[in-house]
Amino acid sequence: MTPSTSSSVPAAPQAEHSLTRSQRLDRLPFTRKHGKLLGASGIGWALDAMDVGLISFVIAALSVHWGISKGDGSLIASAGFAGMAIGASVGGLLADRIGRRSVFALTLLVYGLATGGSALAMGVGTLIVLRFVVGLGLGAELPVASTLMSEFAPARIRGRVIVWLEAFWALGWILAAVIGTFVAASGPTGWRWALAVGLVPAAYSLVVRWGMPESVRFLEQKGRHDEAETIVRSFEEAAEQSARGQTADGPSGTVGAEPAPGAASEASEATVRVAAPDAVGEIPQADTVESTGGIWSRALRRRTAGLWAVWFCINLAYYGAFIWIPTLLVERGFTLTQSFTFTLIITLAQIPGYAMAAWLIEVLGRRWTLTVFLTGSALSAIGYGLADSEATIIAAGCALSFFNLGAWGALYAIGPELYPTAVRGTGTGAAAAFGRIASMLAPFLVPVLVVAGGQTLAFVCFAIAFALAAAAAFTLPEQRGRALAQ
C-alpha cells in the first residue's frame, strides 16, 4: 500500500537547494527503510498492547479461579496504570536526554521481564507489585515510540504513518484476546501461561537497540552531526534505490549529493547542499512555535492544556470500559469462554477503525478526525450501556471499538506534532502521564458506578468523558502537512 501525498500547507521555497537534514527527511517518499522502521516500532507497540489487553482476561480468570473481589481486580489493574503514569513522564524526559531508541529498548526490557515474573505470582500482593513495574515500562514506551516515528515520517503523510503505528495496537489486543480465550481460560493455571508470553518483549528489546536508527533531530540537538548525516543519507539512498526500481529507462536523479569534506561534522550547521531530483517532494512549511520555556510556556500552554484534557478523558473512558468488559459480561450470566469470545469479536473492529482514521487524518486533518471519532465513541458507549441481547452487545461493542481506537490513532499522531524537538518527548510523555491518572481511577470507578446505577450508568459516564475529550480536541491546532518544529 503506497501512502498518498496530500498536503494542506503551501511548500516553503528552497533556497539554492540548501536543506537541513530534517527537510531532507521530510521531502522523501515513503521507502522500504521507513517501512522497516514502522514495522520494528509497531511490533513493540503490539507487544505493549498484548500486555495491557491480557490483564483484563487475567482479572476475569482470577475472579473465577482465585475468587478475587472487584476491589482486588481494581488494584491489580490500577497498579499497572500507576506505573504507566510515572513511566510516561520519566520516559519522555529521558528520551529528550539519552535518546528515543535507547529508552524504547529499555522499556521493552523492563516490562517484558516483569510480565514474565508475574506468571509466577503466588498471591494478589505480589501480582500488584509486579504490575506496577510492568506499568513503568509500558507507560514510557508508547509516547517514545510515536515520537521516534514522527521524526522520521515524511511530512506529507506523517499523520497517516502514526495511525498505522497505532494500528499495531489492534494486533496486540487481538493477540491478547486469542491468548485469553484459548490459554487464560483453559484452566486454573491458564492465566500463568498467558502472562509467560510477556517475556517476548524482553528478547525483542535487543532488536530495537541494535536494529533501529536514533532520531536525527535528537542527534542534532546533542551535536552528533556525523551520526545524523549517516542516517539521513541512508534514507536518501533507500529513496534513490526505490526510484531506480520504478524507472524502466535508467536511474533517477541523485537524492543526496556528497557533502564537502567535514561538512557533516560542523556542530553549528545541520545543513548540507543536495541535489533536488524529481523523485522527492517539496519542502513543507514548518510549525513556527517557539521552543523556549518548556511545555507550559506562553507559546505552548494552550496546546498542552488541550492535549492533557483529551488524554485524561479518553483514558478514563477507554480503560474503564475495556478493562472491565470481560468481567461485566461474566456478571451478565455469560460463561468465561463466552465472555472472552465476545471480547475477541469486539476487538476485531479496531482494525477497520484504524484504517478509516488513517485515511481521514490526511483528508479532514488531525483535529476533525480526532473530534469525529471521539463523538462516535460517545454515541457507541451509550448504545453499549443500553444493549440487552447478545446481538446488541456485540454490535455496540464493535462500534465502540471502531471509533475509540480510531480516536487513539489520531491522538498519537497529533501529540508529537505540537512540540519542538527539545521538548517533544517531554510533551508527549507528560500528556500520557496525566492520562494515566484517569487510567488508575477508572478501574475503581466502574464497580462504584455499577452498584449505583448498573452498567447503563457506567457507560453513560464514559460517553460524557468521550464528549468532553471531543470538545478539547477541537481546541488543538491543525498540523496537517506541516513539518515538525525544530
Tell me what the mean pLDDT of segment 149-157 comes to.
87
The answer, yes or no, to whether residue 260 has pLDDT greater than 60, is no
What CA–CA distance (Å, rounded) separates 202 from 108?
Answer: 6
pLDDT tens string 221-240: 888 999 999 999 999 998 88
What CA–CA distance (Å, rounded) separates 363 from 386?
Answer: 33
The answer, yes or no, to whether residue 462 has pLDDT greater than 90, is yes
**Under 8 Å CB-to-CB from 360, ≥6 apart: which residues?**
368, 369, 372
pLDDT tens string 359-394: 999 899 989 999 999 999 999 999 988 988 888 989
Q: What is the DSSP letter of 299?
A: T
Tell me what the mean pLDDT of segment 142-170 comes to.
87
**Under 8 Å CB-to-CB from 424, ≥6 apart: which residues?**
96, 147, 150, 151, 217, 416, 484
What CA–CA distance (Å, rounded) separates 145 from 412?
Answer: 10
What CA–CA distance (Å, rounded) separates 319 from 52?
Answer: 10
In the structure grid, which three cell numbers stand for residue 37, read together? Answer: 522502521
Contact 91, 140 (CB under 8 A): yes
Secondary structure element (H or E) that encloses residue 239, with its range: helix 225-246
Angle CA(179)–CA(180)–CA(183) in degrees, nearest 5? 65
Which residue type is seen at 85? A
* Greater model confidence, 308 or 291: 308
Q: What is the pLDDT of residue 14?
A: 46
The answer, yes or no, to whether residue 415 has pLDDT greater than 90, is no
Contact 479, 414 (CB under 8 A): yes
* Greater model confidence, 77 or 270: 77
In the structure grid, which three cell numbers stand for residue 429, read together? Answer: 510523555
The answer, yes or no, to whether residue 284 has pLDDT greater than 50, is yes
Contact 204, 43 (CB under 8 A): yes
- Work out whether strand 271-273 and strand 18-20 pair parallel, antiparallel, or are unpaired: antiparallel
Q: What is the DSSP letter of 199?
A: G
Q: What is the pLDDT of residue 457?
A: 92
In the structure grid, which three cell numbers stand for residue 152, read together? Answer: 522520521
Tell me what the mean pLDDT of segment 449-460 comes to.
89
Q: What is the dihedral of CA 344, 400, 115, 38, to 10 degrees?
A: 100
C-alpha 122: how far from its chain's center?
Answer: 32
Q: What is the pLDDT of residue 262?
A: 43
Q: Which of 60-69, 221-230, 269-278 has the lowest mean pLDDT?
A: 269-278
Contact 83, 129 (CB under 8 A): no
What CA–CA distance (Å, rounded) separates 103 from 205?
Answer: 10
pLDDT tens string 172-217: 888 888 888 888 877 888 888 988 887 777 777 777 767 789 889 8
- Rg of the chain on CA atoms, in Å: 23
Task: State whether residue 287 is helix, strand or coil.
Answer: coil
- pTM beyond cutoff 0.85: no
What mean pLDDT is reported for the chain? 82
The answer, yes or no, to whether residue 8 has pLDDT greater than 80, is no
Task: State whether residue 326 is helix, strand or coil.
Answer: helix
What CA–CA distance (Å, rounded) separates 483 from 486?
Answer: 9
CA distances from 385 to 323, 347, 408, 451 (A): 15, 17, 21, 14
Tell me what the mean pLDDT of segment 145-171 comes to.
87
pLDDT tens string 79-115: 888 888 888 888 888 888 888 888 888 888 888 888 8
Task: State whether residue 99 is helix, strand or coil.
Answer: coil
The answer, yes or no, to whether residue 1 has pLDDT greater than 70, is no
What CA–CA distance (Å, rounded) separates 106 from 218?
Answer: 17
Local confidence band at 434 (pLDDT 50, 70, 90 cut-offs): very high
CA distances from 349 to 106, 173, 180, 342, 418 (A): 31, 11, 17, 12, 29
* Greater model confidence, 254 or 325: 325
**What percentage of the chain's residues is helix, strand, coil (to nearest 5)?**
75, 0, 25
